[in-house]
Amino acid sequence: MIAIIGGGICGLALALNLKRRGIACVVYERNREMREIGVGITLLPHAMKELEALGLAEPILTLGSENHDSRFFNRFGQLIYHEPRGRFAGYPHPEVGIHRGRLHSILYRKVREELGPEAVVLGRSCVAIDQDIDGVTLRLTDAAGKYLEPVRAEGVVACDGVNSAVRRQYVRGDAVVFTGINTWRGVTEQKSIFGGRSYLRIGSIRTGKMVIYPISAPDDGSGFQLINWVAEIQREASTANDWNAEGEVADFLPVFSDWVYEWLNVPALIRNSERVLEYPMVDKDPTPQWTFGRVTLAGDAAHPMYPRGSNGAAQAVIDARTLAEQLQLRADPQTAFLAYEGIRRDATARIVLTNRKQPPDFINLRVEDLVGDRPFDDLDAYISQTELRVMSDRYREIAGFSVPGSKLPDAVVSLAASSRSAGAPP
């Protein structure tokens, strides 16, 4: 039996993948009940591909909202650039915004249906792991912190998230790295924006930034839908990185108080959210080892990344499938874990580092560099749409999700570069 520590997105996706390959597993989850917590999460096409293979595309598309396009604005509400997303950009799979709690419930329901209710044991915290030649022994406590009868398993996969207790046991000097960017997040029910299928980025991290996207379909009658928003500001964090920490509107609203456009009232969007959560933007330096004998790391426990490239859940579900494939191919969990690590460690380390160096609002930053922090009359005088498209394509390439067959011809790329050097912006 493979013991999975943590029943989040990665742990539940792993349980489903193992079941499909006939491998027994049990999930041990710290929380006493599965509540719909969190706010919105974006599932990029490569995440949807994995979830579709688990039979989950239909409920996700029903409860979430498929993105048709992505739009970039300066903080004065002027459109800088837009591009199609997901299936509308030629990917074979959609890009979907969904409430993280709903996604979690969809996975949990499916695990109970396919593996039975006993496959996920709630209210069990893993506090330590011992190994011997035949297997592993899990030390677990209940919700009150009381030690329980130890559990034996052939191997352990730690899917216990960014603050992983299992990783702490094996990785020396394990610590989160804070960028100096703090975020506040909420969900507001309101009239849809631009027809309700657009992912919006407004402003930049220098001026204050809003990321806004729908996470439910617009209601046919009222046109209302759930809209997720994230406010990002360069500022010290006042809380540790806890996904459920409550935030205060007064701490960040002043930055956005005059962001009122014909098409959106940002302060109202923020004020009308039922709840506000605060989460500092953190990740961890890539670690050179994930596998420690019969124990391996997966999802955020293995490669926590800044939650701003929409790639955390995608990489977690790819880990889950890769692990299950390797466990199916190799009888010995230690060998399977090492093979999985060989496939996934460097690939995810590149994404963690890209997320640090190349923020997804690079387009807005570039325009701010050229125009300054003021409205523009004619954006083409500073930068062309082709140049912006080249920048966007490059980002997707490094972040590991370029559109199949969409690369701009080299001639267009070099023309975009040379036209700019010939006609410098005013």
Ligand X SMILES: Cc1cc2nc3c(=O)[nH]c(=O)nc-3n(C[C@H](O)[C@H](O)[C@H](O)COP(=O)(O)OP(=O)(O)OC[C@H]3O[C@@H](n4cnc5c(N)ncnc54)[C@H](O)[C@@H]3O)c2cc1C
Q: CA-to-CA distance for 35 and 332, rounded, in angstroms?
A: 35
Among residues 86, 203, 307, 309, which is the contact residue for ligand X, using CB under 6 A?
307
* Residue among 177, 199, 272, 183 at smallest CA distance from 234: 183
- In this structure, what token pair is assigned to residue 221? 């009658």
Q: Which is nearer to ligand X, 81 or 155 (CB)?
A: 155
* 313 scored as a contact of ligand X (CB under 6 A): yes
* 8 scored as a contact of ligand X (CB under 6 A): yes
* Residue among 99, 111, 2, 121 at smallest CA distance from 56: 111
Which run of H or of E encompasses 198? strand 198-204
Q: Which is nearer to ligand X, 74 or 228 (CB)?
A: 228
Among residues 71, 100, 110, 209, which is the contact residue for ligand X, using CB under 6 A?
100
Q: CA-to-CA distance for 284 and 167, rounded, in angstroms?
A: 11
* 125 scored as a contact of ligand X (CB under 6 A): yes
Among residues 2, 6, 227, 340, which is the contact residue for ligand X, using CB under 6 A?
6
Residues 6+ apart with CB under 8 A from 194: 71, 200, 263
Stretch that binds ligand X, among 31-39, 66-74, 368-376, 405-413 (CB under 6 A): 31-39
Residue 96 is which amino acid? V
Which pairing describes strands 25-29 and 120-122: parallel, antiparallel, or unpaired? parallel
- In this structure, what token pair is assigned to residue 269? 């969007």
- Site residues for ligand X, window 128-147 (CB under 6 A)? none
- In this structure, what token pair is assigned to residue 396? 């997707």
* 348 scored as a contact of ligand X (CB under 6 A): no
Residue facing ligand X at closest CB distance: 8
| Distance in Å, CB of 324 to ligand X, minimum | 15
* 28 scored as a contact of ligand X (CB under 6 A): yes
Among residues 43, 165, 318, 390, which is the contact residue for ligand X, using CB under 6 A?
165
Q: Which is nearer to ligand X, 99 or 294 (CB)?
A: 99
Stretch that binds ligand X, among 155-163, 321-329, 404-412, 413-421 (CB under 6 A): 155-163
The Cβ-side half-sphere exposure at 353, using a 13 Å CA radius, reads 10
* Residue among 46, 317, 331, 310 at smallest CA distance from 302: 317
* DSSP per-residue codes, 44-86: -HHHHHHHHHTT-HHHHHHHSEE--EEEEE-TTS-EEEEEE-G
Q: Which is nearer to ligand X, 281 or 316 (CB)?
A: 316
Binding mask 318-347 for ligand X (x = CB under 6 A): ------------------------------
Q: Which is nearer to ligand X, 11 or 155 (CB)?
A: 11
* 44 scored as a contact of ligand X (CB under 6 A): no
Residue 84 is which amino acid? P
Q: CA-to-CA distance for 393 and 297, rounded, in angstroms?
A: 31
* 94 scored as a contact of ligand X (CB under 6 A): no
Binding mask 235-264 for ligand X (x = CB under 6 A): --------xx--------------------
Residue 29 is which amino acid? E
**Which spans of this chain sit near ligand X (rule: CB under 6 A)?**
5-11, 28-31, 37-39, 41, 100, 125-126, 159-161, 165, 243-244, 299-300, 307, 312-313, 316
